Amino acid sequence: MIQMPISEGMREIFDTRPDIECDRFTDLSEDNLVEHIANYDAAILGIAPFTPRIIARADRLKVVSRFGVGYDAVDVPALTEAGIPLTVVGTANSVTVAEHSLFLMLALAKRCTIYDREVRKGNWNIRWDYPAYDLAGRKVLVLGFGRIGRRLVPRLVAMQMDVLVHDPYITQDAITCAGATPVEDWRAVLPEVDFLSVNCPKNEETTGMVGAAELASMKKTAFVVNTARGGIVDETALYDALKAETISGAGIDPFVIEPAPADTPLFELDNIIVSPHSAGVSEESIYRMGYWAAKNVVDCFDGKLDPANVINTEVLG
């Protein structure tokens, strides 16, 4: 079962395996997956929820492979209880997300959307009325130093930014070696930063971690960028902060509800740039993610699954 178009990366793996048949699913409702999941030995998932109800009917399922690295829509405890490994694609889209984070920072600092809009109206004075910022010399706080944060930080350092990083779960020397400054209390430095970049996983600890209080403590000229998961930045609090101009702007890629409906309140605002949860999607990353999502399936069938790509390694024995 494959929940997205079968990519060239997937074909490179599966075309060498005549013993494997692939079916693409377009109806990703829970009821439809419950009805059919018992027919499959593997599932390659997009962002549709993979629930305990689905897993309970997955009698043949040997592996669940994510076309990506986030897995907040997958019930990992239910998979673990069933003895089914959940795999991700490692660093296949890490560079892509890091570039998108930097793109959003640049687009916000350089007033990309308002300049485009006003120049089309003939308003060239906008450059004086609403001047852009340089990234060089600006202070940025990166939340998370995992696969993506480790690739984003060198890019920010190369832009001559003053880079702070908060990640209590890694060796702090790794942050220093990357040219950044480790921060233990990230909320304490919010009043100092010009950019806040969210690059951490979504879990119980991080859901809603950037809320009204955090946004209120930031500079009026500051920007928030989220290329992680919807809900880490509280959307209601962000809307209120942007509308009141408590902060200057935001760049948001993921949303709590996806696809985000057209009447999403954030879409009313001019001081936000949005993208369709596409930070990890490029021509190159689609190939890489497809390749590794398929390879994880084949490796599981062949008994040589790489534990580094497995989330619930306890099922490997």
For the question of residue 229 being annotated catalytic, the response is yes
Side chain identity at residue 280, one-letter code: G
Identified catalytic residue from 277, 283, 284, 288: 277
Identified catalytic residue from 111, 166, 229, 288: 229
For the question of residue 53 being annotated catalytic, the response is no
Q: Distances in Å between the alpha carbon of 247 and those of 84, 222, 263?
A: 44, 5, 22
Closest CA to 201 of 276, 273, 146, 260: 146
Angle, helix 283-301 to helix 94-109, in steps of 10 degrees: 150
For the question of residue 187 being annotated catalytic, the response is no
Closest CA to 202 of 91, 64, 69: 69
Q: Distances in Å between the alpha carbon of 306 and those of 86, 205, 226, 299?
A: 11, 28, 30, 8
Identified catalytic residue from 258, 283, 288, 314: 258
Q: What is the dihedral of CA 53, 59, 62, 66, to 10 degrees?
A: -20
Q: What is the DSSP letter of 261?
A: P
Compute the 3-state secondary structure of the chain and give helix, strand, coil in percent, each to the nearest 5. 40, 15, 45
Q: Distances in Å between the alpha carbon of 53 and those of 4, 42, 82?
A: 21, 16, 12
Phi and psi angles of residue 143, each rounded to the nearest 5 degrees, phi first = -95, 105
List, by residue number, the catalytic residues. Answer: 229, 258, 277
